């Protein structure tokens, strides 16, 4: 049985390694994508990716895991990072960001007001 990383550790590592160092501003999209995928997987999400080693591989959430507010930011980071690496995947990341926002916040009417069209 494969052991998954602890959720809190994955979230902390992502925040320390990506958000605080400003890698999203330095156009280091590949590092953002690589780090961001660890968070939902550590929360029990089952993500289907055609080629997990490729940054441009299409993805789909097959099973949702534990919902945490920080997942909104994770999807938003994926959304903006994919805009630079694989623009065709932006829409899917935005869709998951909106779904997560609706689950965590209880509505999605204010999503565009809060996040706008970050990746476009």
Better pLDDT: 69 or 9: 69
Contact 59, 92 (CB under 8 A): yes
What is the structure's pLDDT at 75?
93
Specify if 94 maps to a domain: yes
Q: Please give the mean pLDDT across all residues of the chain.
A: 80
φ, ψ for residue 22 (rounded to 5)? 75, 25
Choose the weakest-confidence range: 22-31, 46-55, 70-79, 99-108. Answer: 22-31
- Domain span at residue 106? 7-115
Residue 98 to residue 75: CA distance in whole angstroms: 9
Residues in the chain: 120
Instruction: Using the predicted structure, report yes or no on whether residue 103 has a pLDDT greater than 80.
Output: yes
pLDDT digits (tens, 9 = 90+) for 23-40: 444 458 888 888 888 888
Is residue 92 in a domain?
Answer: yes
Is 41 a member of any domain? yes
Query: Is the predicted pLDDT of residue 16 greater than 60, yes or no?
Result: no
Indicate whether 49 belongs to any domain.
Answer: yes
Residue 120 within a domain: no
Look at the pTM and tell me if it is higher than 0.85: no
Q: What is the 3-state secondary structure (H, E, C) of the chain?
A: CCCCCCHHHHHHHHHHHHHCCCCCCCCCHHHHHHHHCHHHHHCCCEEEECCCCCCCCCEEEEECCCCCCHHHHHHHHHHHHHHHHCHHHHHHHHHHHHHHHHHHHCCCCCHHHHHCCCCC
What is the total count of domains within the chain? 1
Q: Which of the four pLDDT bands, split at 50, 70 and 90, describes residue 63?
A: very high
């Amino acid at each position: 049985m494969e052991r998954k990383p602890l959720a809190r550790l994955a979230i902390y590592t992502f925040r320390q390694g990506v958000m605080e160092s400003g890698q999203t501003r330095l156009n280091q999209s590949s590092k953002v994508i690589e780090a961001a995928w660890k968070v939902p997987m550590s929360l029990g999400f089952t993500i289907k990716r055609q080629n997990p080693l490729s940054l441009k591989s299409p993805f789909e959430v097959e099973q949702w895991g534990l919902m945490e507010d920080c997942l909104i930011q994770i999807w938003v980071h994926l959304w903006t990072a994919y805009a630079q690496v694989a623009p065709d995947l932006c829409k899917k990341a935005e869709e998951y960001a909106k779904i997560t926002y609706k689950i965590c916040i209880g509505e999605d009417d204010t999503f565009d007001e809060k996040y706008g069209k970050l990746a476009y």
